[in-house]
Structure 1
């Protein structure tokens, strides 16, 4: 089963379970994808978060049900996973611009969000530079975590580093980073998802450095055990092309482990890199 078939199988699972509880772990399993990467992969390809897509599809079907039958509003709410008529009504009105009861009126305008279908888009006009790195030791990253909304990550993360520079936290990390150099990850690190699985709406962005010494009292430790990484120069561009261009044709799977953004000192080329944990298919 190729990459496109797997992604469409995940969409089949979602569509077949809109009236039931949808298990996010199961979606990733159906796609033969890591639980960490699937939500971000989905949003990168589709332009919409996984949870928002599911919400819109459910509210589309809910509108059809209300229009085509005399089913009670509370029964429609329960059918599509809402705990109360009030919460369903708020979500329905936010999407369609009217109350659920008004959807039964003749000539009323509603919004239908069709099912997504993934297809192959031939690009390849711009090459992607990358290299494979193998680490024969566990990464021990020392630092602090901040909760970031996934949809605003590209805007929020630079401000986190800017604040860290102003309050001295960045310099503290820099001073620690070269005490016992061991690999090319001796720099400022942003670990994208402290948890094993990245959340759909938000995740913890862990700012730190690789460090084997004693942990300062105001910091936490994050241990990452993985050997093979693919490394891309230019973090923003790499994130945008990772899921849509590199993964489908690489012959690798993405491991269920957070990615690492590596920010190097001034005059270093490249200025930054994205480290992605991978396993052979």
Structure 2
């Protein structure tokens, strides 16, 4: 089953369950990936979170129900689309549509409609993507790890970006760099010592692991750190052009988006369990980033 078919099957599941419970783990299983991987792909492809898309679709259908079914009570429509009270429903409805549910029933009221999304291959510009395919034997990394929630209703809303900020502020990133030792022979000499790896072990349907990591070598000092083994994989590696740090967010988001929307749907590969590295390097006052995606050829 190809990438587009899997993604559209996940969207079918969402559409069929807008008036019921939508299990994010079930959405991901329809797409044959983890919950984190699906939500990540979805956000990069659509520029909106999965939770926000579901909210918009439900409120779009709720508006149609208000207009087309005058006998239906607002509280019943609120419950039908996942809101526990008319107050929370009215607040969300007005935030999206700019009017209250009661006003939506008046003739001539302007409302917003968000149609169902479908995934397809689109012809885009002729800008080249710089990538390479490399096979690497198993290797080890070590560092500071955290587990993060993908469930939008979770009380734990910490992010990897906050992890970077905290560990820069307390000096742990610099300490990890000092303990990294020599880079392995398969790494470029102009790479920095601290990188990041994501989705390298199972953590449940609604969570993903993330580590600020260094590559382990004979000169590394690993005491006090978590150490993980990355199995042998084929890697699709995408490198950015040189940039200054103030452009980092735009650069890395563009790389991720182009991987998910332009390369992955047509390359004959699929990502392996969402595993990827963010590898940082630079010289001459400029920086670059490489995204390493563990991939395998599709059948």
Give TM-score scaled by structure 1 length: 0.79
Deviations, residues 85-136 of structure 1 (Å, cap 9, x unaligned): 2222221121112222232223322211122233321236232222233333
1:228 equivalent to 2:223? Answer no
1:259 equivalent to 2:276? Answer yes
Q: How far is the alpha carbon of 1:273 from its aligned partner?
A: 0.9
Corresponding residue for 2:195?
189
Q: Which runs of 5+ in 2 are unaligned?
A: 151-158, 241-250
CA change 1:76–1:276 in 2 (3 A) is same
Corresponding residue for 2:100?
99
Q: How far is the alpha carbon of 1:53 from its aligned partner?
A: 0.8
Corresponding residue for 2:60?
60
Contact map agreement 1:148 1:204 (CA 8 A) in 2: no
Of 197, 206, 214 in structure 2, the residue corresponding to residue 209 of structure 1 is 214
CA change 1:158–1:31 in 2 (3 A) is closer
Aligned residues: 273
Corresponding residue for 1:152?
none
CA distance in 2, matches of 1:146, 1:107: 49
CA distance in 1, matches of 2:170, 2:6: 46
Q: Give the alignment's Cα RMSD to 1 decimal.
A: 3.6
Q: How far is the alpha carbon of 1:33 from its aligned partner?
A: 4.1
Corresponding residue for 1:117?
118
CA distance in 2, matches of 1:22, 1:157: 26
Q: How far is the alpha carbon of 1:214 from its aligned partner?
A: 6.7
Corresponding residue for 1:19?
19
Corresponding residue for 1:174?
177
Q: How far is the alpha carbon of 1:265 from its aligned partner?
A: 5.4
Q: How far is the alpha carbon of 1:223 from its aligned partner?
A: 5.5
Contact map agreement 2:200 2:230 (CA 8 A) in 1: no
Stretch deviating more after TM superposition (85-94 or 58-67): 85-94
Contact map agreement 1:37 1:197 (CA 8 A) in 2: no
Q: Which runs of 5+ in 1 are unaligned?
A: 150-155
CA distance in 1, matches of 2:201, 2:137: 22
1:30 equivalent to 2:30? Answer yes
Deviations, residues 230-255 of structure 1 (Å, cap 9, x unaligned): 21112624212100111011111111
Corresponding residue for 1:153?
none
Corresponding residue for 2:76?
75
Give TM-score scaled by structure 2 length: 0.75
CA distance in 2, matches of 1:116, 1:266: 42
CA distance in 2, matches of 1:103, 1:84: 18
Stretch deviating more after TM superposition (106-115 or 243-252): 106-115
Q: How far is the alpha carbon of 1:64 from its aligned partner?
A: 1.1
